[in-house]
Structure 1
Amino acid sequence: MTNYEVAIVGGGISGLTSSIYAARAGKRTIVLEQQKQLGGRAITNKKLGVYFNLGAHALYKGEAYEAFRELGLRLEGSTPSIDAYVMWKEQLLALPTNTSSFFQTPLLSWGGKLELAKSFMKLGKMDTSVWNHISIRDWIETQLHDPMLRNVFYALLRTSTYVFAPELHSAGPALKQLQRALKGVLYLDKGWGTIVEQLRELAVKQGVEIVTGCKVAEVEHQDQKVHSILCESGARIEAANVILTTPPSISHKLVPHADQTALDTWNKQAIPATVACLDIGLRQLPIKEHQFIYGLDQPIFFTHQSREGKPRPAILSDDGTKVISLIKYQGPQIDAAKDENELEHVLDVVQPGWRNEVVTRQFLPRMTVVHDFPHMKRMENPGPAVPEIEGLYVAGDWASHGELLVNASVASAKRAVSQLLNAREEIKV
């Protein structure tokens, strides 16, 4: 039996981030990851010299970006322009984001264009928290008047949150994410695996022990206190504190009598969001102008991930292969074959002739974007502490207190470590 002050279950972004902050505070820390590879949904697959994330990834300038900068990570990549098209009834129309497209596109009436300009101006100064308690749908239907503009905002908010649930998603966090998106996002050179590797290197440098291929069977607790972790191999790791960065259903399963704790509430209220992802490496783009496209009458998104940026394109291949990503935001009913066909058909419209340019591809029929998000059916924000069990904490994209996606993963990791450290100090006093 080995003794640690902090044991972290899960070696994704949240787990690695929490391990670094715990170790920097002087805590003997271990990370247990059941896969042989760290990173979770932030891994990058390399195929024929092409770097594929698990679907289209973009780093917004939020909590994660600030934490990565604080930790000294190198965030190298490209910030694309906001020039874009929308797809409406299989026609591509320019989204009015600059002077030329504003005057020329037939997408919106003059009244709709003026309302769009005013909405963007308001959004830049808006305190989005005042909209935390209404849904995206309620916000759009009460705050916007032009019917086509409403469709545009549904698409923008769906794309920035990666969630297709306007009647459930809280408007405040979604609008905050859109604010960040309009300031520019980062497509990372060689994919998000570069972040995972830098976090791993930093964790090891801080003295964190990382064990891969270790499946946790149970978080053992007694007298309302955590005392150890039992692995399926039979190994037992003694730890005064445990941070679960696993999904809510797995966290619930790992803790005996979880139905008597807040883990039960957090698990029952969780609504996961999934997407179908088609990522393709092309020798060239048949139509170079079509690089960023929102679906209006269908929940799809297309982006050229290695698209031209300033001062250079994002590097996502070793030989200049163009990397494109298509996403279909899914609802409760999922048909993998149908989703793949729909995405290929969209590509036929957006980039006719693409099939003759394919170098390599990957299709993910049901990729979990988040295991939960701020929604109208939530009873409470998860974590960071499980109040019924001393020394037990949760973190991850689902342990959001208003943050979204990787911002939730990193913010919840920092919250868990902060509360853990404060609890230890209170016990000493």
Structure 2
Amino acid sequence: MGKYDVAIVGGGIAGLIASIYAAKAGKKTIVLEQQKQLGGRAITQRKNGAYFDLGGHALYKGDAVQILQELNVELAGKEPSSDAFGIWKNQLIPLPMNFMSLLTTPLFSFRGKREIGSWLVKLRKLDTSQYNQMSVRDWIEGHLKDPMVRNFFYSLLRTASYVVAPDLQAAGPVLRQLKHSMNGVLYLDKGWGALVKELRNKAEEFGVGFMTGNRVTEIETKDRRVEAVKCADGTRVYTDHVILTTAPEIAYKLVPYADQTSLQVWKDQAIPITAACLSIALRRLPKPKNQFIYGLDQAVFLSNQSRAAHLSDNGDQVVQLIKYQGTHTNVKIDEQDLEQTLDLAQPGWREKLVARQFLPRIVVTHDFMHMKRTVNPGPHVPEIKGLYVAGDWVTHGELLVDAAAASAKRAVEHLIAYPNQEGVFVGGHRVVV
């Protein structure tokens, strides 16, 4: 395979963005992906002319959008209307997503409406970092007075992060994500697979090489330095720098003596988040107004992404539903809950069904900012020269795809700034000096 300056393990969003930054910096770069196609959890599947992502995908105007714009990656899609309903006691009730709906919604008292209006103004200028060490529950119970307003914010923060763990989740990062959502959200034409295609094209423009359909089995090191990437078929890619964009447990397994490195801590503190996702394509919507729905007393969410994006070659409506999962889940109950949400929002939907995709338990993110986290991972593994990590779990405050994009950029910036980093052992871990 010859020698590469940078080898990136994993061809998802983080891996592709890292490859572009590395190649732009003049580094000979290769991406290794075990699947035959790139994209990871950002792939899009086409069924009966409809484009289905792996669960609900929305691109908030935050870190990822800024990075994609910096890389001149084109984003084809539109911003949907914010008009929304909430499910409360099995009824659909308009939510206060703008000034007019705030005035007219019957869900809140006059005092509740005043409180929501006040916070929607405060959030735009709020320094969310002051709440990084506070749980979501402590923030909501300590800052919001009206009980229904609290339910509303629990739902908003749950939707912004996919996390149903208010006692565990750190408030600062998810409030920052909520601020991003107030700047707008993009639904992408033909799904996130189109974004993956654009990223690959951009990477190829800068000379990035790709090896797909070949599983990486080990990161070979010598004297605590990266030496090569070994693949299942025996291929070796020789390199001085490796960026791992895998899940933390996989990164741990790929590195010899990982138990003597920070990878052990990062793996042990990681708490993956999963969701049950149902995507359907309908010839038409039985209830055209019911296109954007938050669960207030249940952990569900519905969005008709076709109201803003081209997601069907036949003009069908692609609706995505999510049930946010906790520790204990039941596949049958989760699917029933999602179908019941559809029955409420779009009665008679089964007669209009064109295509369907149910994902009972898909990983949304491999870790997030929570109260049990002891250290933020990456960008480099300090005990091994030339080894870096990126991905949604390598967050320093960002969430979801923002974390994947920001960590990829951080990894390459560190690689370029400290190409000859050396380390010493302090407290059992090597640190850069």
Q: If the TM-score is normalised by the length of the shorter chain, which range does it land in? A: over 0.9
- AA at the equivalent of 1:132: N
Check conservation: 1:56, 1:305, Cα contact below 8 A. Answer: no
- AA at the equivalent of 2:19: S
Check conservation: 2:275, 2:364, Cα contact below 8 A. Answer: yes
By how many angstroms is 1:425 displaced? 6.2
- AA at the equivalent of 1:345: Q
Task: Provide closer, same or farther for how the CA distance between residues 98 and 30 of structure 1 changes in structure 2, counting only shifts above 3 A.
Answer: closer
For residue 181 of structure 1, what is the aligned residue in structure 2?
A: 181
TM-score, normalised on structure 1?
Answer: 0.97
Residues 140-155 of structure 1 correspond to what in structure 2 (within 5 A)? 140-155=140-155
Check conservation: 2:385, 2:421, Cα contact below 8 A. Answer: no
Q: Which runs of 4+ in 1 moved over 4 A?
A: none
For residue 57 of structure 2, what is the aligned residue in structure 1?
A: 57
The farther-off stretch of 230-239 and 390-399 is 230-239
By how many angstroms is 1:167 displaced? 1.1
Q: Does 1:286 align with 2:286?
A: yes
Q: Does 1:26 align with 2:26?
A: yes
By how many angstroms is 1:202 displaced? 1.2
Check conservation: 1:292, 1:304, Cα contact below 8 A. Answer: yes
For residue 68 of structure 2, what is the aligned residue in structure 1?
A: 68
TM-score, normalised on structure 2?
Answer: 0.96
For residue 405 of structure 1, what is the aligned residue in structure 2?
A: 400
Partners in 1 of 2:320 and 2:356 — Cα distance? 10
For residue 160 of structure 2, what is the aligned residue in structure 1?
A: 160
By how many angstroms is 1:55 displaced? 1.2
Q: Does 1:347 align with 2:314?
A: no
- AA at the equivalent of 1:131: Y
Q: Does 1:111 align with 2:108?
A: no
3-state SS, counterpart of residue 4 of structure 1: strand
Aligned residues: 422
Check conservation: 1:14, 1:409, Cα contact below 8 A. Answer: yes
- AA at the equivalent of 2:367: D
- AA at the equivalent of 1:348: D
After superposition, what is the alpha-carbon deviation per residue over 1:1-29, rounded to whole angstroms, capped at 9, x for unaligned?
52111110000000011011111111111
Partners in 1 of 2:348 and 2:164 — Cα distance? 30
After superposition, what is the alpha-carbon deviation per residue over 1:150-190, rounded to whole angstroms, capped at 9, x for unaligned?
00000000001122111111111100100111121000111
- AA at the equivalent of 2:160: S
By how many angstroms is 1:62 displaced? 1.1
For residue 305 of structure 1, what is the aligned residue in structure 2?
A: 305
For residue 310 of structure 1, what is the aligned residue in structure 2?
A: none
Partners in 2 of 1:394 and 1:102 — Cα distance? 44
Residues 366-381 of structure 1 correspond to what in structure 2 (within 5 A)? 366-381=361-376
3-state SS, counterpart of residue 298 of structure 1: coil
3-state SS, counterpart of residue 406 of structure 1: helix
For residue 216 of structure 1, what is the aligned residue in structure 2?
A: 216
Root mean square deviation, CA, Å: 1.1
By how many angstroms is 1:426 displaced? 6.3
Partners in 2 of 1:229 and 1:74 — Cα distance? 32
After superposition, what is the alpha-carbon deviation per residue over 1:188-235, rounded to whole angstroms, capped at 9, x for unaligned?
111111110011111112111101001001001121111011111111
Identity %: 58
Consecutive unaligned residues of structure 2, counting only runs of 5 or more, are 423-433
Consecutive unaligned residues of structure 1, counting only runs of 5 or more, are 308-312
Partners in 2 of 1:56 and 1:371 — Cα distance? 16
3-state SS, counterpart of residue 306 of structure 2: coil
